[in-house]
Structure formats: C-alpha cells, structure tokens
Chains A and B, each alone.
Chain A
Amino acid sequence: MILHTINRSPFGSSCLQSCLDVAAAGSAIILIEDAVYAALPNTQYTDQIAAALGKHKFYALDPDLKARGIHEATLDGIESVDYDGFVALCTEFSKVVSWY
C-alpha cells in the first residue's frame, strides 16, 4: 500500500483534495509542513477529512504541528508522529508518494 505525504496547506493548495480523489482505501496520509493545518478542527475541510478517516489512516508530523502552535488542537483520529515515526511509516508502506 501507499503512504501519501502532503506538504501544502489545504487553504492554499489542492494537494489534499487531489490526493483524496485518487488515494485507494487502506492507503495512509501523512500531513507535513503547512499541510498540518488540515488537522485543525472546525474548518471547511473537517467533514471531508472526518469522512476520509474511515478509508485512510491519517498522521501529522508533530514538530510541524508544534512549530505552528496547533499540536493540542487537532482532529480526533489524526495521529501525531515525530521524524522517527515518519521514517518508520515509510518502511511500513511499500511506496511513498509525495504531493506538493
């Protein structure tokens, strides 16, 4: 299965949307850099991400959440990982696709 990385905020880029349009069920998505803003609750993307949580496991890079001060305000179901966890995810999934 594929691990998708997204590094752009959904508020300024269609990366997340494009990824969700094509990602197969069972593939995972890790939000890095400005994409961690997608993990905020009560936004225009919340419902879509909440619905996608049934199809994909979602991760967010913790140092990037912390750098933006939103590590204590993420959607339920999105798991925080550090760089070691990011590397581990890359080993667990057979391919890594980057959306940027």
Chain B
Amino acid sequence: MIFSLTVYGAPFSNQCSDTAYQFASSLLKQGHSLHRVFFYHDGVYNGSVLATPPQDERNIQASWSQLAQQYDLDLVVCVAAGLRRGMLDETEADRYEQPAHNLASGFTLSGLGQMVEAAMVSDRMITFGA
C-alpha cells in the first residue's frame, strides 16, 4: 500500500514528529511504500540541519535524513511555510541574499501542490498534527 504523511509540528515542541517518524519506520519495515512526507507549518523545522540536540539525545532531523537515504524517500518542506521560518536551501539563500542555508540532506523545498499530488497518488494520507 502507498502511504504519504503530513507533519505539522516542530521537533521538541510536541510529539508529532516522533510519532510520524516511528510510523514511517514501521510502514517501511512492513514493506509498504512511502510516497512522500510533507512538512507543513512548524513541521518545517524537522528539516533544519542546524538543530543541535545533546549528543546522547535523539536527533529527529538526522533520523529523517537517514531514513530518506535508506529508502530513497521524498521529504518535502513547504517552501512558503519554510521561508518565513528561516528554512532555506542554497538556491533560496542566494535568491534572498541570506548569509546561510540550513536545509538538511534528503529534504527539498517545494510547494503545496506536492501535498495535493501526494493525496492523489497515495492509498492513505496520514496527518500528524500539532
């Protein structure tokens, strides 16, 4: 079965990023396919490579990037929600002449159309709300 997930909450602010990650790991382990994870609202912070939790604590962004590499996942950070919260890739940092960019590997910035497309092609769209 084809799943897509949407994540609305920031890591460390509430549990939904952790729940979504555990759910994603479980469905992949069971042999289902994960078409896309769409990070919206404060969920965009899941993609910040600059988040630096203590070394003996879970790093949610790194976990997502690792899962993306292992299963070739499409992790999409909403570009509109991301830019206003300081989530930039190199292209956007150049475009807006910002001094840094912070989008982690495995994540891409894209539009809401990607969420709609995910809903169209997936058998199940599961929302992890904050």
Contact = CB atoms under 8 A, between A and B. Distances in A.
Q: Could you say which interface size class chain B belongs to?
A: 20 to 34
Interface size class of chain A, counting residues whose CB lies under 8 Å from the partner chain:
10 to 19
Contacts of A86: 23, 26
Contacts, number: 50
State the majority secondary structure of interface residues on A.
Answer: helix
B32 A87 contact: yes
Contacts of A7: 15-16, 19, 128-129
A96 B22 CA distance: 17
A100 to B, nearest CB: 3
B130 A100 contact: yes
Contacts of B124: 90-91, 96
Interface of B: 1, 3, 8, 14-16, 19, 22-23, 25-27, 29-30, 32, 124-130
Interface of A: 5, 7, 32-34, 63-64, 83-84, 86-88, 90-91, 96, 98-100
